[in-house]
Structure 1
Amino acid sequence: MTDAVLLLLLFLAAMLYTSVGHAGASGYLAAMALVGLAPETMRPAALVLNVFVATLASVRYVRAGRFSWRLFWPLALAAAPMAFVGGAVQLPSQLFRALVGVALLLAAWRLWLAPKTLPDGDTKPLDEVHPPPLPVAILCGAAIGLVAGLTGTGGGIYLSPIIVLSGWASLRTTAGVSVLFILVNSLAGLAGLATKAIEWPPLLPVWIVVVLVGGWIGSELGARRLATPKLRRLLAVVLVIAALKLLLT
């Protein structure tokens, strides 16, 4: 029963997150927390799922024309080495749970309270991109990369609101940039984790298949159609419950 619940939660996380240009790591972490997985298993598993889903979503967003290389490259160049450093750091269990709990609350805030930073529609042309000054992009990318590596996420929940609220790109272009940024960070974080022994869950191959199906559906919604705000808010509630479990137990 627990395995079936986890599979359903992973599927929903992948579908809903890819619809807004994310790969779902915070959702996967929430699902694993709810079923009681150990922290040393959660971080590498979430990153692996992120890599597969972000790869799929990146291809779909780029093909749909929802991407800007000018905005992407300085952010990713600064983030990748810091994500590697964060991934290589072995955090105490309680500190890891606290960091992930805070990350889940931030993700829930994005999904529930900030609908204008999600791609329900664009008010700017797709090609209207205003990249930040290079020092700003490098500082932003490095900070997000470090947090992403430490928590086992791709950093998209931090990057996409910054892009939109700063006016650097349109909503759907933000989604495309964010998902490729997540892929780079997830790979770098995994490389950092690989410097130490990794404990893999036995059902990880099944999880990969499930999130790929969810990611295919979600990225289609995000790249070409509209995502569903009500479902996002439902996911936000799940994230809050998981965050409280991590923070209070």
Structure 2
Amino acid sequence: MVITPFVVLFFFTAFLYAAVGFGGGSTYNALLVMSGADYQLIPIIALTCNLIVVSGNLIQFHKQKLIPWKFTLPIILVSIPAAFFAGRIVISQSQFILVLGWSLLISGLLMMLRENEVQQPSTWLSTKAGIIANLIIGFLLGGLAGLVGIGGGIFFAPLLHLQQSLPTKQIAAFSSVFIFFNSFAGLIGQATKHSQYTGLDNFLDYIWLFIAVFIGGQIGNRLGVSVISAIVVRRLTGALVIYVGIRLLYIFFSN
């Protein structure tokens, strides 16, 4: 792996995703796959980068009192164990490629959607069906986070917009909390699964990527979308993620 170009790419990925309230797990995965990194290390690196980036978002959203804790807590309570236990699941390289390929393709397509500003939330969340539906979604996305290293916010946010569940800024705040706790639980699951995996010795070889996403995330979090349109960010990164998703699925089905 040639580190220098990827340090730059990870910096800009963190900057762009932090500006719109996400961690960047889908793009970190895509870049790591393109670099030829060990598939067993990819989720660990991606989840670590997620944690570093969304930590800054989390602090800012907490200071602004935008986190909808009443909605958030029940969902992360079901997603955390799902992320942890999914992180412990041992899968082959071909299974990883299949799951990650579909995950990247779907998340990329969701990123292409234009999300309308939610001014007046619907009453859907207060209904029994709404509560159960979002708990199930949280559980499933938590599992996905632990398995392949995608925080899940990139999937959940568009669904919340479609439901008109929360004001737009609160959806972004919820996504940061959701990504943070899923990434943390998934990372612990991955680390315990690979306790005998000698490749973990190479983890610190990626230290410059972690430094890059920390700096990029801090800048992006503070500038928000004042420098670049959120729609442009989502569509550019979405195009990359779709490309890598299709490429992975092609590799899987051609073997």
Report the TM-score when normalising by structure 1: 0.88
Percent pairwise identity: 27
Q: Quick check: 2:157–2:171 contact (8 Å CA) kept in 1?
A: yes
Letter in 2 for 1:243: G
**Structure 2 residue aligned with 1:230:** 232
**1:42–1:90 distance in 2 versus 1, CA, 3 Å:** same
Letter in 2 for 1:166: Q
Residue 116 of structure 1 aligns to a residue in which SS?
A: coil
Hey, what's the Cα distance between the residues in 1 that align with 2:53 and 2:40?
Answer: 21
Q: Structure 1 residue 213 and structure 2 residue 236: aligned? A: no
Hey, what's the Cα distance between the residues in 2 that align with 1:81 and 1:177?
Answer: 18
**Structure 1 residue aligned with 2:110:** 110
Q: Structure 1 residue 160 and structure 2 residue 157: aligned? A: yes
User: Could you list the per-position Cα deviations for residues 7-44 of structure 1 after superposition, in whole angstroms to 9, with x for gaps in the alignment?
Assistant: 12211221222222211111100111111112111011
**Structure 2 residue aligned with 1:9:** 9
**Structure 1 residue aligned with 2:186:** 189
Q: CA RMSD in A?
A: 2.2
Number of positions where the alignment pairs a residue of Structure 1 with one of Structure 2 = 242
**1:99–1:229 distance in 2 versus 1, CA, 3 Å:** same
Hey, what's the Cα distance between the residues in 2 that align with 1:135 and 1:247?
Answer: 32
Residue 65 of structure 1 aligns to a residue in which SS?
A: coil
Unaligned regions of 5+ residues in structure 2, if any? none
Moved more, 19-28 or 179-188: 19-28
Residue 61 of structure 1 aligns to a residue in which SS?
A: helix
Larger Rg: 2
User: Could you list the per-position Cα deviations for residues 112-152 of structure 1 after superposition, in whole angstroms to 9, with x for gaps in the alignment?
Assistant: 2x1216xxxx4416xx5853544333222111111221111
User: Could you list the per-position Cα deviations for residues 188-221 of structure 1 after superposition, in whole angstroms to 9, with x for gaps in the alignment?
Assistant: 1011112222524343221111001111122224
Residue 169 of structure 1 aligns to a residue in which SS?
A: coil
Hey, what's the Cα distance between the residues in 2 that align with 1:164 and 1:147?
Answer: 20
Letter in 2 for 1:240: I
Hey, what's the Cα distance between the residues in 2 that align with 1:210 and 1:143?
Answer: 30
